[in-house]
Amino acid sequence: MKVQSTSKSTRDVLLQSGLALVSQKGLRGLTVRELAAHANVNLGSFVYHFRNRDAFLQELVEIWYEPMYAQLRETSESSDETSAVGRLRATIENLIDFVSANAAFISHLFADAIAGEVAAQQFLLHLPYRHPQIIYRLLQEAQSERSVPDGSVLHLMIFIMTAVGMPMLLAGEIMQGCTWLPVDAQKMRDLMRDPAAAKQRLVWALAGIQRSGIASE
11 has pLDDT over 60: yes
4 has pLDDT over 50: no
Q: State the Cα–Cα distance between residues 81 and 68, nearest whole angstrom.
A: 19
Q: Concatenated DSSP letters for 2-64?
A: PPPPPHHHHHHHHHHHHHHHHHHH-GGG--HHHHHHHHT--HHHHHHHHSSHHHHHHHHHHHH
Q: What are the structural domains of the chain?
A: 1-51 (1.10.10.60), 58-210 (1.10.357)
Contact in structure between 19 and 102 (CB atoms under 8 Å): no
What is the number of other CB atoms lying within 10 angstroms of the CB of residue 181? 12
Burial 30-41 (b: 16+ CB within 10 A, else e): beeeebbebbeb
| Residue 3: predicted pLDDT | 33
181 has pLDDT over 60: yes
8 has pLDDT over 80: no
Question: Using one digit for the tens of pLDDT, what is the confidence trace for 72-89?
Answer: 999 999 988 889 999 999
| Residue 217: predicted pLDDT | 47
Q: Per mean pLDDT, which range of 13-17, 97-101, 132-136, 187-191 is the poorest? A: 187-191
Maximum average pLDDT range among 57-71, 101-115, 197-211: 57-71
Span 149-159, average pLDDT: 94
Span 16-34, average pLDDT: 95
| Residue 211: predicted pLDDT | 59
Q: State the Cα–Cα distance between residues 188 and 167, nearest whole angstrom.
A: 10
Mean pLDDT, the chain, integer = 89
Q: State the Cα–Cα distance between residues 165 and 202, nearest whole angstrom.
A: 9
| Residue 183: predicted pLDDT | 81
Question: Using one digit for the tens of pLDDT, what is the confidence trace for 189-214?
Answer: 888 889 999 999 999 999 999 854 45
The residue ranking higher by pLDDT, 70 or 211, is 70
The rounded percent of the chain whose pLDDT value lies above 90 is 75
